[in-house]
A and B are shown apart, each in its own frame.
Chain A
Amino acid sequence: MDTAIRATGLGKRYGEHHALRGVDLEVAAGTVLGLLGPNGAGKTTTVRLLATLLEPDQGRAEVAGFDVVRQQRQVRRRIGLAGQYAAVDGLLTGRENLELLGRLLHLGRKGARARAAELLTRFELEGAAEKPAQTYSGGMRRRLDLAAALIGRPEVLFLDEPTTGLDPASRLVLWEMVREQVAQGVTVLLTTQYLEEADFLADRILVIDTGQVIAEGTPDELKRKVGEEWLEVGVSTDAALPQALAVLAPVAAAQPEVDRTGRRITVQLADGIGTIAAAAVALESAGVPVTDFALRRPSLDDVFFHLTGRGTQVGRAPEEGAQPLAQGPEGEAERDEKAEKAAPGEKAGRTENGEKAEREPVAAATARTGDEQ
C-alpha cells in the first residue's frame, strides 16, 4: 500500500459555519504530512474526520486502505490519535492508563501489561509509572498521551497539535519520539500552528485556512514560492544607509527595501553566488560600515504570511517558547516589538545557513511585507 491516507473533497459544516470546504489530501505510507494553519482553519476537523470521530458531509476518505465512514472498525484498528488535550485519565497512574487502553485494544491482560511496560520505558516514564497522571508535568502528559496513541502499534498516527503549550526542551523530546515512529514506518498526519514544527517533522506540508487548502508542497517548495534567497545588510549609522543603497542597487534584482529604524537593507539578488561576492566587494571598497551581512532563505513564517496575509509569531520559538499564530494587527505589532528586542542579542550567533539564520529573518521579512501594505 503506497498511500496511507487519501481524502477527496472532504467537507464538514456546523450549521451555517463551513469548517471544511473540499479538502483533498494524500499521504504516502511512512511519511509525515504537516497540516498547517491558524486557529479555526479546519485542522482539527480534518483530523477528526480522518480518525472516524466525525462523519463528513461531503467527500470521502480512506485511511490505511479503509473507508472512514463505511469501515470505521477497520480504520480504528490501524490508527493512533493524540489530540490537543493530552487525553489521559488523571486519576489513573501512567501504567494504568496504558494498560486500560491495551485491554480496550484487546491485547489481553498480559499483552496489555507487557506493551504498557515497553512504552513506559521507551517514553522515559518508568519513574512516574505508578503516580497518578494528574501529577505529571505538561511534557510528561504529552509523552504519556503519545504512548497511549501507540499502544495498538498503529500504521497511521494522527497528532493534533502535539506540542502546543510545551516548553522548548519537552518539544524537542517529543519531536524526536515522533521521528522515531516515522523511522519505523508509521505514517503521521500532524497538525500544528508552529511552522518550525512542520519544518522539522514534515515531509510535505499542507497549508489550510478557512477550511480550504491554500498551498501544498515540501517545506522547501513552499519557501521557494515566496521567493529566492535574499541578502540582508545592516549598517552602523543612519548616514551609511543611502551610501549602502547606492552600492547595492546595481546587484539587486528589484528595488532594495530599507528598514530605517533597524538600519537594514534587504536585497533580492539578481543571480546567486556571484552577486553576493560583487555586493561584498562593492560595500568594502566604498567603505560602508557594515555590521551584518547575511544571506537569508525564507522561513515558513514568510510562506504563511505570503499566503494568508496574516503573520505568525513562530520564528524564534525555541528561544522564547512557542508562540501561537498571531492574528490581526495586535499580534503583529507585538511581534515586531519582540523581533526588535530579540535582534541585538542574536547577532553574535549568526551564521549563513545555520538554524538561527533560518529563523532570524522574521523581523526583516515582516518589515518588508509591512512596507508593501
Chain B
Amino acid sequence: MSDIGASAGLGTALGDTAALIGRHLRHLRRTPEKIIAITLTPVTMVVVLGYLFASVVTVAGSGEYHDYVMAGVFAQVGLTCVGVAALGVATDLRTGLIDRFRSLPMGRSAVLVSHTAADLLTAAAATFAVTLAGLGVGWRIHKDAGSAVLGFVLVLAFAYVMLWLGALVGMLMRNAEAINGISALFLVVLSFLSNSFMPLSGLPAWLRAVAEWNPVSLVAAACRELWGNAPTVAGSSLPDRHPVLLAVIVVAALLAVLVPVNLRVYRTAVTR
C-alpha cells in the first residue's frame, strides 16, 4: 500500500485531480438543475427569514433581524453540502466508477479531492446567490473589505469541511434514500441547535453550552463578528468572546480529521 500516493509525484496527483475536476464540471454543465436546487433553498430562506420574519422578530441587542440571520443562512449553505457530496460519491460507488478509478495507477486522494473541489464550486455559487438575495432584503456588511472577505472565506471553508463529511457519509451509506434522510436530519438538528436563527440566551444552560460549541454556531457567530452584524450585548462564554478564532480552529481541526479518515475508507470502499 505504501507505494500508492507516496510515489505518485505531486505533479501526477494534480494532473489526475484536474482531469477528474474536468469530469465534474461537465456534470455541472449538463445538469444545471443541481446547482439551481442547491442555490434555491438558501435563497428562499433569506427571503422568508429576512423579509417575512424580519417584521415580527427582534433580537435583543441587535439591529435588524436580517442582519442577524444572514450569517446563519450562509452556514446553512455549508450544511446542505453534506448531502450533495454524499450523493455524488455514493453514485460513483454504486455505478462501479470508483472501482474503475481504484484499479488505475493513480493517487488515492484524486477522486475525493476532485469531488469536493467541484462541489465547492457549487457551494460558492450558492453563497453568491445568497449574498445577492441578502443585499436585496436589506442585509449590509458594516466592516471593512478585508474582514468581509475573511467572513466569506470562513463560510466556504466550513462548506468544504461539510463536503468531506458528506463524502464519508456517501461511502459509508451508499443508499440514496438513506443519505437524503440523514442529511435532512443533520441539516435540521445542526441548524436549529445553533444560533443561526435566534440567540441562544433563552436556552437552558446545558443546552446552550452544546449549541454554542456547535460548529454551525461558531461559524455564524464568527461571520457576524467579521461583518459587523453581531448583537451588541455579547455573552461571557468562550465562544461568545472569541468566535472568529474558535471557528477557524474548529474548521481546521475537522478538516484535519475528516480528510485522512476519508482516504482510509476510500482505500477499502466496496461497491454494492
Contact = CB atoms under 8 A, between A and B. Distances in A.
Interface stretch (B24-32, B181-189, B253-261): B24-32
A338 interface: no
A103 B22 CA distance: 11
B177 interface: no
Contact of A104 (B1, B7, B95, B101): B101
Contact of A85 (B26, B270, B271): B271
Interface string B85-125: 00000000011110111111110001000000000000000
B19 A53 contact: no
Q: Which 3 A-B pairs have the closest CB atoms?
A: A87-B96, A85-B96, A76-B105
A69 B267 CA distance: 12
A53 B99 contact: yes
Contact of A91 (B27, B96, B106, B110): B27
Nearest to B22: A100
A201 to B, nearest CB: 21
B138 interface: no
Interface residues of B, number: 32
B136 interface: no
Nearest to A112: B19
B267 to A, nearest CB: 9
Contacts of B95: 85, 87-90
B212 interface: no
Interface string A64-99: 000001111110110111011111111110001000
A51 B23 CA distance: 24
Given A73-B3, A91-B31, A53 B102 contact: yes
A52 interface: yes
A163 to B, nearest CB: 16
A100 B103 contact: no
B236 interface: no
17 contacts: A48-B270, A53-B102, A53-B103, A72-B1, A73-B7, A73-B105, A74-B3, A77-B105, A87-B99, A91-B31, A96-B26, A100-B20, A100-B22, A100-B23, A101-B104, A103-B19, A132-B30
A54 interface: yes
Indicate the member of A73, A88, A132 with the most B CB atoms within 10 Å: A73
Indicate the member of B16, B27, B102 with the most A CB atoms within 10 Å: B102
A96 B22 CA distance: 10
A52 B103 contact: yes
Contacts of B16: 103-104
Interface of A is mostly: loop
Contacts of A79: 103
Contacts of A52: 102-103
A81 B102 CA distance: 10
A87 B91 CA distance: 11
A226 to B, nearest CB: 34
A106 interface: yes
B1 to A, nearest CB: 7
Contacts of A73: 3-4, 7-8, 105
Contacts of A69: 1
A148 interface: yes
A343 interface: no
B174 to A, nearest CB: 13
A91 B30 contact: yes
Nearest to A84: B96
A105 interface: yes
Contacts of A104: 16, 19-20, 101, 104, 106, 110
Interface in B1-16: 1, 3-4, 7-8, 12, 15-16
B26 A91 contact: yes
Interface in A98-147: 100-101, 103-106, 132
B181 to A, nearest CB: 24
Contacts of B4: 72-73
A179 B110 CA distance: 34
